[in-house]
Structure 1
Amino acid sequence: MDELSSLPETQPLALARAGVDRAAHHRFDEPWLAAAWSHPTTKVLPIAGGEAFVVDTEAGSELVLLPSFEAPEAGDRFFLGTDEDGVNYFALAGESLPGRLDGDARPAGLREVGGSLSDRDAGLLVHAVALEHWHRLHSFCSRCGHPTEKAGAGHVRRCTSCAAEHYPRTDPAVIMLITDGEDRCLLGRQALWPEGRWSTLAGFVEPGESIEQAVVREVLEEAGVRVGEVQYVASQPWPFPSSLMLGFLGKADPAGTAITVDGEELSEARWFSRAELKAGMEAGEILPPSGISIARHLVELWYGGPLPAAARW
């Protein structure tokens, strides 16, 4: 792409889809929540350790949602929302998933099935995974150290001693595809990644920093490349465990395109032309970013369409 301002239409990001209204106004209405839980149309998503039961179909994967009267009694209930037909959805987080279900149901997580779920199911699972992880790690008050208890239908924890309220954390992180004057893209790899895996650069936003400043700083720190123009593209939740990925395209300063990796975040980085990337993927020498990641979305924006089929995984 020669101009960052003209972005083509693309498919929605895999984990940024939803088909349910979160209906936050019901979260502190205990009588309403009790009635919603006991309603015969209510659907419950059991979840444990970031996984839920799914069934594989020809069209993709589907979450296994239970009527509330079939759901386990133990576990934390999180209200996830209401769909356009008035069906209410809850997650039920437990130490483990319920006993083996009939049929072909199997446990799976977002990394495996996030891209093959429907909009509704993707949104439900992302919401539930993020809440489950936060509750598991925030059972004590960060102000006074006393135990906290669930409130707000799973969207708040309240201290049992000082009454401080704590809300689910979301860590903003920037992820960016940088191009140079020859319209090559900058990709890097970490030492722990599988052989041949390349992806866009990324990093967390620091306190007192704008997201645009974070893009410039992270690219300079990790690859030694200076970034000029920056354009925001899209965002998606990334509950691994609690990030919001903010995607950008950027242009390298012509005077600062020499690569010097930091050796910590990245073990290697290089500029790729479209022809080089295509040839490497078709030969099986280059593995692209995951299909559910915003990194894949950014690379395909620059590439001009879907990556070669042989590269998909």
Structure 2
Amino acid sequence: MNMIGARMSTTPSTGRNDAQGRGSDESSFSAHLPLSRHEVDRDYLTRDRPDVFVELLADPATRILPVWKGRALLAPGASAPETDGFGATGSADGAKSSLALLAPSEVPGDALLIYLGRSLADDAPEPIGTPLVAAVLSDEQASAVADAEQWGNLRMFATDLSARDAGLATEAIAIANWHASHRFSPRTGRPLVSSKGGWVLVDSEDGHEIFPRTDPAIIVGVTDADDRLLLGSNALWEKNRFSLLAGFVEPGESLEQAVEREIFEESGVRVTNATYLGSQPWPFPASLMLGFRATVDVANPGSLEPDGAEIIDLRWFTRDELASAGDSVILPGRSSIARAIIEDWYGGEIDD
């Protein structure tokens, strides 16, 4: 998971709940996952209309979200936030960000279009029921629509968005990434054609349909008998950047098996009691992060040792140690489920 610098100033709690209601039940935990928020009806039946985009573009109420290279267009005055490149959130001037939703006439007519659904937000500028469409732009098209600084990386401004805009941007970027990586049929090598509102790709010769794919990955807050939290540093990061251990689920494997295997492979630690917390889409490019807690297997604990390839350092942290670490430990950004799991264990928010 990507990370930002963090300074711990919150007094750690010895429990799982804090004054703001953060708890271990799924609904409470999921409420703290920025990319899991949504207020959009995906309206899947409309995708089947043969002339869906002719209808939508002719409707003056329709609004278009431009997407370019995994970035969404931000509204004027809400420029992309400053960041260290590891998931920092918050706009440069402290203002909340919002997406730029354009009229159909403001978007190039030959852009790839994807029907996202209808707005359900009662606090958005657009009324409930507004049709929403993503337009995936080329470099030339994007430069004609807006300056480069208006295109925002979702992982860096997710927490500044409303629930509707966070869900809308996540959906749009995820499906746009799928289109970018599935231009040709894996069976025949022939070009694929977008169909059903952008949610199906079709081989134009034999009619074979290809549907969007999501890669499930587990991410785990591992604790020992003393309730210390295990954090690791990736070989690609600077040495003081730490996060939870995570990995992709393999074919034919349950989520619980993936938790046990990945933790052992990366740390040498054997875990048990894998407990599901919640999930968050992570469209960078196409993952679904499945959050778990697990405990060291007392009967067969293994031996703490980083794999040396992906993970180069491992450390156990008490709450007091994490609170006093200061800049010596850089934690994941607020857009990540890793941050939510760490704070769930910690018992409160960790101030940046």
Tell me the secondary structure at the aligned position of residue 63 of structure 1.
Answer: coil
Residue 44 (structure 1) aligned with residue 64 (structure 2): yes
Q: Is the 8 Å Cα contact of residues 68 and 138 (structure 2) preserved in structure 1?
A: yes
Cα distance in 2 for residues equivalent to 1:130 and 1:203:
19
Residue 94 (structure 1) aligned with residue 137 (structure 2): yes
Q: Whose relative contact order is higher, 1 or 2, with alpha carbons under 8 Å and at least 6 apart?
A: 2
Q: Is the 8 Å Cα contact of residues 187 and 198 (structure 1) preserved in structure 2?
A: yes
RMSD: 2.0
Tell me the secondary structure at the aligned position of residue 228 of structure 1.
Answer: strand
- The equivalent of 1:165 in structure 2 is 209
Cα distance in 2 for residues equivalent to 1:206 and 1:100:
41
Moved more, 211-220 or 91-100: 91-100
Residue 35 (structure 1) aligned with residue 55 (structure 2): yes
Tell me the secondary structure at the aligned position of residue 237 of structure 2.
Answer: coil
Runs ≥4 residues deviating over 6 A: 1-4
Q: Identity, % of aligned pairs?
A: 40
Alpha carbons of structure 1 residues 89 and 41: separation in structure 2 relative to 1, 3 Å: same
Letter in 2 for 1:13: L
Cα distance in 1 for residues equivalent to 2:313 and 2:238:
13
Cα distance in 1 for residues equivalent to 2:339 and 2:50:
42
- The equivalent of 1:221 in structure 2 is 265
- The equivalent of 2:283 in structure 1 is 239
Q: Is the 8 Å Cα contact of residues 41 and 117 (structure 2) preserved in structure 1?
A: yes
* Residue-by-residue CA offset, 1:228-272 (whole Å, 9 max, x unaligned): 111000001111111100000011112416311111120011111
Gaps of 5+ in 1: none
- The equivalent of 1:83 in structure 2 is 119
Cα distance in 1 for residues equivalent to 2:104 and 2:256:
45
Q: 1:184 aligns with which of 219, 222, 228?
A: 228
Q: Is the 8 Å Cα contact of residues 180 and 257 (structure 1) preserved in structure 2?
A: no
- The equivalent of 1:132 in structure 2 is 176
Cα distance, 1:132 vs structure 2 = 1.2
Letter in 1 for 2:24: L
Q: Is the 8 Å Cα contact of residues 75 and 93 (structure 1) preserved in structure 2?
A: yes
Cα distance, 1:162 vs structure 2 = 2.2
Cα distance in 1 for residues equivalent to 2:311 and 2:162:
34
Cα distance in 1 for residues equivalent to 2:109 and 2:318:
56
Letter in 1 for 2:342: V
- The equivalent of 1:274 in structure 2 is 319
Cα distance in 2 for residues equivalent to 1:176 and 1:208:
20
Gaps of 5+ in 2: 1-13, 18-22, 79-92, 121-127
Cα distance in 2 for residues equivalent to 1:7 and 1:176:
14
- The equivalent of 1:285 in structure 2 is 328
Q: TM-score, normalised by structure 2?
A: 0.82
Higher share of residues assigned strand: 1
Letter in 2 for 1:273: T
Letter in 2 for 1:54: L
- The equivalent of 2:82 in structure 1 is none
Cα distance in 2 for residues equivalent to 1:195 and 1:3:
29
Letter in 2 for 1:36: L
Tell me the secondary structure at the aligned position of residue 15 of structure 1.
Answer: helix
Q: 2:345 aligns with which of 274, 293, 302?
A: 302
Q: 2:41 aligns with which of 21, 28, 42?
A: 21
Tell me the secondary structure at the aligned position of residue 263 of structure 1.
Answer: coil
Cα distance, 1:40 vs structure 2 = 1.1
Q: 2:200 aligns with which of 156, 170, 176?
A: 156
Letter in 2 for 1:262: D
Cα distance, 1:35 vs structure 2 = 1.7
Tell me the secondary structure at the aligned position of residue 144 of structure 2.
Answer: coil
Cα distance, 1:161 vs structure 2 = 2.2
- The equivalent of 2:125 in structure 1 is none
Q: TM-score, normalised by structure 1?
A: 0.92
State the aligned residue count: 305
Cα distance, 1:298 vs structure 2 = 0.4
Cα distance in 1 for residues equivalent to 2:315 and 2:94:
39
Cα distance in 1 for residues equivalent to 2:104 and 2:146:
15
Letter in 1 for 2:347: G
Cα distance in 2 for residues equivalent to 1:160 and 1:66:
31
Q: Is the 8 Å Cα contact of residues 242 and 330 (structure 2) preserved in structure 1?
A: yes
Cα distance, 1:32 vs structure 2 = 4.4
Letter in 2 for 1:119: A
Q: Is the 8 Å Cα contact of residues 264 and 270 (structure 2) preserved in structure 1?
A: yes
Q: Is the 8 Å Cα contact of residues 144 and 162 (structure 1) preserved in structure 2?
A: no
- The equivalent of 2:89 in structure 1 is none
